[in-house]
Structure 1
Amino acid sequence: MKEKQKVIVIIGPTGVGKTNLSIEIAKRLNGEIISGDSMQIYKGMDIGTAKIRVNEMRGIPHHLIDIKDPDESFSAAEFQMLARECITDISSRGKTAIVAGGTGLYIQSLLYDYQFSEQPSDPGYRRQMEKTAEEKGSDYVHSLLRECDPESASRIHPNNERRVIRALEIFYSSGKTMTEQLKHQKREEHFHSAIIGLTMDRETLYYRINHRVDSMMEEGLLEEVTRLYESGLTSGQAVQAIGYKEIYQYLKGGMTLEEAVEQLKQNSRRYAKRQLTWFRNKMDVEWFDMTPPADPQQKLDEIFTYIAGKLHL
């Protein structure tokens, strides 16, 4: 039997410190980092996605960043394929693959043998729902999903029209919800993985998220989103991202800039809460509390001890 490739996965809510930890692990274990974030794949969307800068990478190669134009779509199935190719390549060169990110379904699809090709489809129904979303709005389409598949509706944000419609399409085509489909997928692990979860006292985490949004505005988030808006991109997956959809509302005249920033903070906090709930319920995670005044070096040592034991390094 072929030995499974080893992979280290770092998960946790937005703003908890996954990027810094991934760099530290890569430095110590001769690693390369794969982004597990569904929005850092887009070129030109740097500030709003908290994308790592070249000078912050400390010479560590990063993968699956800046691989798509903002008008292109991206799916968990595509991520699964590309990330697995990266892990095979990194492992073949004798290096350690480290996946860092917070998009739950992407990470889950990578680690377990999800067969996306088995999911039913109905292009005609999909087009019909896209038209309905255009005419009645994303909240209305999301309410349809909430009626037939409450669990998927709680997991998928109303603004993520593409995924909402996909979940409805699966139910329409098969009579089974996306939730049921996922539950019947094999839970066989594709890799020999060590999954590290970072958590933090909620009050501290929310303070960090609010502060990060303020920093993003100072760094030029408004200008970044304005460029995207003025390029003519008014819909699609990229502009549904937190940090972009709120500023779009301001640019369209739907709210003041102050209101947009406040909504961005609120949506970011809610997203962090959903991320934690997802990972706690769906995956076998070893959690590490990073709440200050935790000693960073001591936490690093604890994490490395766990990795070494789990992966027999």
Structure 2
Amino acid sequence: MRKVVCIMGATASGKTGLSIRLAKRFGGEIISSDSMQIYRGMDIGTAKPDLAERDGVPHHMLDILDPGEDFSAARYAELAGECVEEIMARGRMPIVAGGTGLYVDALLGARSFEEQPDTAAVRLRLQQEAEEKGCVWLYEKLRTVDPERAAKLHPNDEKRVIRALEIFETTGETATERDRRAAARPPRYDSVKIGLDWPDRAALYARIDLRVELMLQEGLLEEAARVRAMQPGRTALQAIGYKELFRYFDGQCSLEEAKEDIARESRRYAKRQLTWLRKDPDIHWLNAEDADALFASACRIIEQNY
């Protein structure tokens, strides 16, 4: 089976730098698996590599949508899959890099991400119910119809709670049942998965805090104002670094409080990312604290497994 290389890890763990070095070493092209880097104009806050940082390496799945457009794992799997096919046709190595594990799963075919064409009305109604009655009310509804999926979600994870209910209400099949059915299917692509590990969690958190500081110095405040003027949709509104500054613009907090919120939410996001990735037994975890040693180890793994 044809293979793709996947570079995975928490935010600020060094995925971008490693993936670019690997692409130059193996003749690869990078496919972003970051759910927010797909948006045009959301550059600083998503740590999107600029042209200089890309160093001539082709990148895909960046800047493909305006912030007002919503996106899904199913759509990602479709578009990123087209990128994989094109890269392979050129005889080059597809390298998937980013922190959205759900998107990687969708691309590889590890889970079912069937997009239902007629769910808009149901989704809108569920979103309205969430606004009127609260996400916890919807969560209790999900617990009734799909307790297994509910047990895997936080009661306030509105997007995923709504998605699970949407699947049930439009297909009559629970998300749990759908995933079990999908598990019987062979994967779309084989993969070599490399995970970036920071044994000292405090060191990773320090990198996150520094990144937030640098983002603000580089103009995140001004970028957030421009993004807000674009009337971002529900997907883009989830991006850490923007929603916190929107609260500042509305006078709900000080700039320093917004900065602290961005750093705190980024650290929490890193923890969630690692929790998700640790469940995957196929990931080769490498110590990321020394960039050169990490690169050498990653090269060996690819040479042995690709």
What TM-score do the two structures reach when normalised by structure 2? 0.89
1:196 partner amino acid:
I
The answer to whether 1:27 aligns with 2:24 is yes
Q: Which residue of 1 aligns with 2:303?
A: 308
Alignment equivalent of 2:61, drawn from 55, 61, 64: 64
Q: 1:96 to 1:146 in 2, by over 3 A?
A: same
How far apart, CA to CA, are the structure 2 residues paired with 1:152 and 1:128?
Answer: 23
Match of 1:168 among 165, 188, 197: 165
Q: 1:270 aligns with which of 265, 268, 271?
A: 268
In structure 2, the partner of 1:98 is 95
Large movers: runs of 4+ above 6 Å? 118-121
TM-score where L is the length of structure 1? 0.87
Distance in 2, matches of 1:223 and 1:136, equals 35
Matches within 5 A, 1:202-217: 202-217=201-216
Instruction: Report how many aligned residue pairs link the two structures.
Output: 301
Contact 2:196 2:286 in 1 (8 A): yes
User: Over residues 121-158 of structure 1, what are the superposed CA-to-partner deviations in whole Å (9 max), with x where a residue is unaligned?
Assistant: 7554323212123334556656655774434423x973
Equivalent position SS for 1:69 = coil
Question: Does 1:153 find its partner at 2:148?
Answer: no
Instruction: Provide the residue aligned with 1:48 in structure 2.
Output: 45
Mean Cα deviation higher: 198-207 or 278-287:
278-287
**1:81-119 deviations in Å (ceiling 9; x for gaps):** 111111111111111110001101100111125443387
CA contact (8 A) 2:69 2:232 kept: no
CA–CA separation in structure 2 for the residues paired with 1:118 and 1:234: 22
Q: Which residue of 2 aligns with 1:18?
A: 15
Secondary structure (helix, strand or coil) at the match of 2:43 reads coil
Q: Partners of 2:175 and 2:206 in 1: how far apart?
A: 35
CA distance 1:214–1:302, change in 2 (3 Å): same
Match of 2:86 among 60, 79, 89: 89
Q: Secondary structure at the match of 1:301?
A: helix
Question: What value does the CA root-mean-square deviation take over the aligned residues?
Answer: 2.4
Corresponding residue number in structure 2 for 1:224:
223
Amino acid across the alignment from 1:153: L
What secondary structure does 1:282 align onto? coil
**CA distance in 2: counterparts of 1:157 and 1:198, whole angstroms:** 28
> Where does structure 2 lack aligned partners over 5 or more consecutive residues?
none
1:132 corresponds to 2:144 = no
Q: Which residue of 2 aligns with 1:79?
A: 76
Structure 1 residue 13, shift from structure 2 partner: 0.2
Partners of 1:242 and 1:143 in 2: CA distance: 27
Cα offset, 1:174, TM superposition: 5.5
1:118–1:48 Cα change, 3 Å: closer
Question: What CA deviation, in whole Å up to 9, does each residue of 1:14-33 have, x standing for no partner?
Answer: 00000000011001101110
CA distance in 1, matches of 2:39, 2:191: 27
